[in-house]
Structure 1
Amino acid sequence: MNNTIENLRELFVQQSLLLYDTAMREQSELPYIAKNISTPELKELVQKKLRSSKNTGDFLQEVFHTMDIRHEVEKSACCECILTQTEELIDRSKDPYVCDAVIVNTLQQLCHNNIVSLGSLASYAREIGQKEIAFSLEGLSAEEENTDKELARLAKHSINRKASFSIM
């Protein structure tokens, strides 16, 4: 891929490819991460996040086809960093609830990254005349926001409390 970004459409393409990589990495890595979960509600939220990642990946493939975008691999350093750090923290967590807290944090970081990316892409899509794509991107962002709120609620009312008692 050409490294030069000369206009908003090219930025849209670049950011879409990065988000696509994130969605693919989430689909491949989250099942491994889920094996370390001890809280059933968190397992359900990981499944919800996996569905969201699949929806995002599938939608972006449609966008690539619709907009005649060559689908070249573009690695998301942000996603890679989050997932690598998570693996290290999981390996070092001796308590199952502390491990669950690590996983909640990871899922929230991924959600926040996706919310920002989807919001920017929706804005770019509107500006370049792709209003239907923008509308769909906003819907995907709303899914991520909902998952983030559910994760925050679970952490606050359950997992973080259990993890705090594990050290006593």
Structure 2
Amino acid sequence: MGLLLTKKFDTLNDLFVDQVKDLYDAEQRLTKAIPHMVEAAQSPELKSAFEHHLKETEGQVKRLEKVFELIDTKPDRETCDAMKGLLSEGDEVLDSDGDPSVIDAALIAAAQRVEHYEMAGYGTARTLARQLGLEQVAELLQQTLNEESAADDKLTHIAETSVNVAAATS
């Protein structure tokens, strides 16, 4: 609550720009975090999913830069404290010892928390863009929302068909 008191939202556009800046920071942080997840993953399928999502995340950063261009705003980051917290929890998994398949299950859990946060953020930003009549921007945000949802589905599939199965027999 205190954080909102330091900002000024006079228009829906003010809120929208703040949300996009927050997402931009979150994606920038992820481009640095995902390589550590790739390195920590033992499952080849999980490692591959993280590598694929890193490429998508880099594309999402570029897409957000296009959003900034379309709204005639300099690409800027608003510190995303939520992502910082999610990544901090993920670091705990990266620093953990234990059975590799259980660690992979923990990596999936941490990654899915991130995906769900991103889906909420992109859904909100897309809805605000539509309300503001920014249809091209809304379409770009929807593309990323679709990618985040697909990444979450892929992680669920990997968990249910291999990683969690292996972790349960450890």
Q: Does TM-score exceed 0.5, indicating one fold?
A: yes
Q: What SS does structure 2 have at the residue aligned with 1:75?
A: coil
* Letter in structure 2 aligned against 1:46: F
Equivalent in the alignment of 1:133: 137
Equivalent in the alignment of 1:18: 22
1:65, distance to aligned residue in structure 2 (A): 2.0
TM-score (normalised: structure 2): 0.91
From 20, 34, 38, the equivalent of 1:30 is: 34
1:95, distance to aligned residue in structure 2 (A): 1.2
1:131, distance to aligned residue in structure 2 (A): 0.5
How high is the sequence identity, in percent, across the aligned residues?
27
Q: What SS does structure 2 have at the residue aligned with 1:88?
A: helix
Equivalent in the alignment of 1:124: 128
1:48, distance to aligned residue in structure 2 (A): 2.0
* Letter in structure 2 aligned against 1:63: V
Distance 1:130 1:137 in 2: 11
Equivalent in the alignment of 2:7: 3
Distance 1:157 1:143 in 2: 21
1:159, distance to aligned residue in structure 2 (A): 0.6
* Letter in structure 1 aligned against 2:53: K
From 102, 116, 131, the equivalent of 1:112 is: 116
TM-score (normalised: structure 1): 0.92
* Letter in structure 1 aligned against 2:36: Y
Q: What SS does structure 2 have at the residue aligned with 1:63?
A: helix
From 132, 143, 146, the equivalent of 1:142 is: 146
Instruction: Map residues 42-81 of structure 1 onto 2, 5 A cutoff.
Output: 42-81=46-85
* Letter in structure 1 aligned against 2:91: E
From 74, 89, 93, the equivalent of 2:93 is: 89
Measured on the aligned residues, the alpha-carbon RMSD in Å equals 1.4
Query: Which runs of 5 or more structure 1 residues have no equivalent in the other structure?
Result: none
Say if 1:52 and 1:144, in contact at 8 Å, map to a contact too.
no
Distance 1:138 1:73 in 2: 20
The number of residue pairs the alignment matches comes to 165
Equivalent in the alignment of 1:40: 44
